[in-house]
Each structure stands twice: as structure tokens, then as C-alpha cells.
């Protein structure tokens, strides 16, 4: 009887050990979180899917970072962003456009597509369509855009300093005319841009005339911008209790312009679109009136009443002599 009892006990223990792993696995399955509805982030916060989450619908990331360790049963699309797959399971496609993609120990049911971005993956990533940037490397687009902006700022700096140094009187005349003729200069500047387009169209048939026309218009425009910067810089300096020199006032205004461009350039692709809006506003508020002021002042050679009127000193009337007291005696 004792031997039979020992055999039954051993059989029960073996059955318990055999059934224990499925019970734990079932408990883990119950702890998984299943989410429905698409997950979309546009220039927003990061998308993070941990290992215990299952997303039934697509995950779309534009201008953000997506980190996926769990399961997505639909497509994953990343544009102008970053995607990290680590131990993830994707039910359909993974598409990255102008993005940085990193894949480690992940399973992709269909195809991994990289278009004009960087791709770092292991050997078990499934079907891959890789359309890389030229020369076999994918540089950081943000860095390229920043250096383009840096070169542009350097050229603007040279143009402003050259205008103040070569034709200071004309820049001064435009600066004096800016407060009184700003709004009329805006509409004249629009007509100036229209005339420039017509002239450039007529010069398109020539070889030398086209670049010469562009260069001449750029010189006129930045001389006008230097005049507006001079007027604005002086107002800022006076508000701070300082009288600015012409070059100092122009560089002060240029410093504010540079600060905005640099900050927006480092904000990623959200800053790229904000920078486009900023350049549009700068064109409307500075470049168009600058062209108009150059036309109204005849390239800074003829000012209006503000620039040319010289006020004579007021005439002084001598005081009347005080009468001497009469002697009654």
C-alpha cells in the first residue's frame, strides 16, 4: 500500500509540474493590453508601445520618435522622424520616409520600406526595400538644412555690412524715410517685384543679362533692408538708453533675425515649417517695403521732407528795456 501511495503522489507531482507553465503563460496573456484605433502623432510627443501592448490599428508618426517593443497588427508609417523596433511584431508593413529606422530582434509580416532615410537592421527583418540617399550614405537632413541656413546668414551679413560701408549716405536716407513711407513703400515694392519678373522674363533670352539682373535686384533689395534695419536698430537702442552707430544698429537688428533663424533651424522638421512661415513674414514686412523704399528714394539719393528739411532756429526777440524810475524831485 505504501508503494502504491508513493506512486500516486509522484504522478500527481508530475502532472502539477507539467501544467504549471501553461498556467503562467495564460496569466501573461491576460495581462496584455489591447488598444484599438489609430495612433497618430504629428510633430508631437513620442510614441512608445511597451512589450505588453497590442495595437490593432495603424501607427503613424510625422516629425516625431516612435519606439515599439510590443505588437502592431497593422502598418507602421514614419515620416521625417525616427523609428526604433526592438523585439516588436508588426502585422503588415513598416514604411519610413526621410527617417531614421533601427530594427533589432523584430518580426515584420510583410515589407520594410526605407525611402531616402537611414536604415540599421539585423538579418531577420524580412522583406526589405531600401531606397537610400545618393553615394550610399544618409546624412542627417537637419544638419544639412542648418548649414544651408548658416551659409545664407553669412551672405546676408556680408550684404548688410557692405551696404553700410559702401553707401552709408543712401542707407541713412532710406532709414530716415522708413517711418513715414513704410506703408506706401509696401505697395510700391509689390509693383517693383512685378516689374522685376517682367524684366527677368525679357532677359531670359540673354546669357549675361539674366544673372546681371538678378544680382542688381539683390543689391537694391539688401540696401533697402539695411535701411530698415538701421531705423529699427536705432529705435531698439534708444529704448535701451543707447545711441547706436549705423553699423551697430544694423547688426543689432540682424542679430534678432539670426537668433530666430538659428532657433527654428534646430527645432527639427516642425521648425522647418515654422521657418518657412517666418521667411514669408520677413519677405512681406521687410523685403517688399525695402524694394519700395529704394524706388521712392531713387536708390537713397532723394529723400522726402523727413530727410531733407533743415529747421532754422527760432528767431529770438530781445527783451524790452526796463524803464528807469523817474525822480519826482
User: For the segment 81-132, what is each residue's pLDDT rounded down to a tens digit?
Assistant: 888 888 888 888 888 887 888 888 888 888 888 877 778 887 666 678 777 6
pLDDT for 314 beyond 60: no
Mean pLDDT of the residues in the chain: 77
Calculate the dihedral angle through the C-alpha atoms of 74, 75, 80, 83, rounding to the nearest 10 degrees.
Answer: 70
Its pTM stands at 0.53
- Domain of 95 in residue numbering reads as 33-136
Q: What is the DSSP letter of 57?
A: S
Shared domain for 212 and 292, answered yes or no, is: yes
Shared domain for 209 and 81, answered yes or no, is: no
Shared domain for 147 and 295, answered yes or no, is: yes
Domain finish residue from 116, 136, 156: 136
Query: Who has greater pLDDT, 148 or 94?
Result: 94
Shared domain for 188 and 235, answered yes or no, is: yes
Shared domain for 202 and 237, answered yes or no, is: yes
pLDDT for 209 beyond 80: no
Quick: pLDDT tens for 123-140.
Answer: 666 678 777 655 444 455
Q: Is residue 40 part of a domain?
A: yes
Shared domain for 83 and 160, answered yes or no, is: no
The domain total for the chain is 2
Shared domain for 93 and 121, answered yes or no, is: yes
Domain finish residue from 104, 136, 168: 136
**Burial class of residue 67 (count of CB atoms within 10 Å of its CB; 0-12, 13-18, 19+):** middle
SS3 content of the chain, % helix, strand, coil (to 5): 55, 20, 30
Least confident of 20-34, 212-226, 245-259: 20-34
Q: What is the structure's pLDDT at 27?
A: 43
Q: Is residue 186 part of a domain?
A: yes
Q: What is the structure's pLDDT at 281?
A: 93
Shared domain for 181 and 122, answered yes or no, is: no
Q: How far apart are CA 119 and CA 62, in angstroms?
A: 17
Shared domain for 169 and 257, answered yes or no, is: yes
Least confident of 32-36, 134-138, 173-177, 254-258: 134-138
User: Are 19 and 12 in contact, with CB atoms under 8 Å apart?
Assistant: no
Q: Is residue 321 part of a domain?
A: no
Range 177-203 average pLDDT: 87
22 Cβ contact list (under 8 Å, min separation 6): none
Shared domain for 229 and 286, answered yes or no, is: yes
Helix (H) or strand (E) holding 95: strand 94-97
Shared domain for 52 and 152, answered yes or no, is: no
Amino acid at each position: 500500500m505504501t508503494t502504491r501511495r508513493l506512486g500516486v503522489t509522484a504522478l500527481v507531482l508530475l502532472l502539477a509540474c507539467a501544467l504549471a507553465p501553461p498556467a503562467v503563460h495564460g496569466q501573461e496573456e491576460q495581462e496584455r493590453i489591447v488598444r484599438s484605433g489609430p495612433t497618430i502623432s504629428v510633430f508631437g510627443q513620442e510614441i512608445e508601445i511597451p512589450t505588453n501592448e497590442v495595437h490593432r490599428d495603424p501607427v503613424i508618426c510625422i516629425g516625431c520618435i516612435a519606439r515599439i517593443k510590443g505588437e502592431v497588427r497593422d502598418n507602421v508609417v514614419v515620416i521625417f522622424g525616427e523609428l526604433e523596433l526592438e523585439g516588436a511584431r508588426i502585422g503588415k508593413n513598416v514604411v519610413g520616409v526621410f527617417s531614421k529606422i533601427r530594427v533589432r530582434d523584430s518580426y515584420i509580416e510583410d515589407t520594410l520600406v526605407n525611402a531616402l532615410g537611414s536604415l540599421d537592421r539585423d538579418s531577420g527583418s524580412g522583406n526589405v526595400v531600401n531606397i537610400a540617399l545618393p553615394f550610399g550614405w544618409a546624412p542627417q537632413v537637419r544638419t544639412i538644412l542648418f548649414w544651408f541656413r548658416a551659409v545664407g546668414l553669412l551672405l546676408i551679413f556680408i550684404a548688410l555690412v557692405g551696404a553700410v560701408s559702401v553707401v552709408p549716405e543712401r542707407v541713412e536716407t532710406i532709414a530716415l524715410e522708413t517711418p513715414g513711407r513704410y506703408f506706401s513703400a509696401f505697395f510700391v515694392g509689390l509693383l517693383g517685384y512685378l516689374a522685376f519678373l517682367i524684366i527677368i522674363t525679357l532677359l531670359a533670352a540673354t546669357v549675361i543679362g539674366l544673372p546681371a539682373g538678378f544680382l542688381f535686384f539683390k543689391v537694391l533689395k539688401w540696401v533697402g533692408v539695411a535701411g530698415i534695419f538701421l531705423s529699427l536698430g536705432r529705435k531698439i537702442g534708444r529704448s535701451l538708453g543707447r545711441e547706436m552707430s549705423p553699423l551697430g544698429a544694423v547688426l543689432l537688428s540682424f542679430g534678432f533675425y539670426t537668433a530666430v533663424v538659428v532657433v527654428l533651424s534646430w527645432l527639427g522638421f516642425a521648425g522647418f515649417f515654422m521657418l518657412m512661415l517666418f521667411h514669408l513674414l520677413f519677405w512681406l514686412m521687410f523685403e517688399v517695403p525695402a524694394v519700395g523704399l529704394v524706388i521712392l528714394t531713387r536708390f537713397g539719393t532723394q529723400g522726402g521732407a523727413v530727410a531733407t528739411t533743415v529747421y532754422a532756429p527760432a528767431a529770438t526777440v530781445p527783451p524790452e528795456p526796463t524803464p528807469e524810475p523817474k525822480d519826482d524831485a
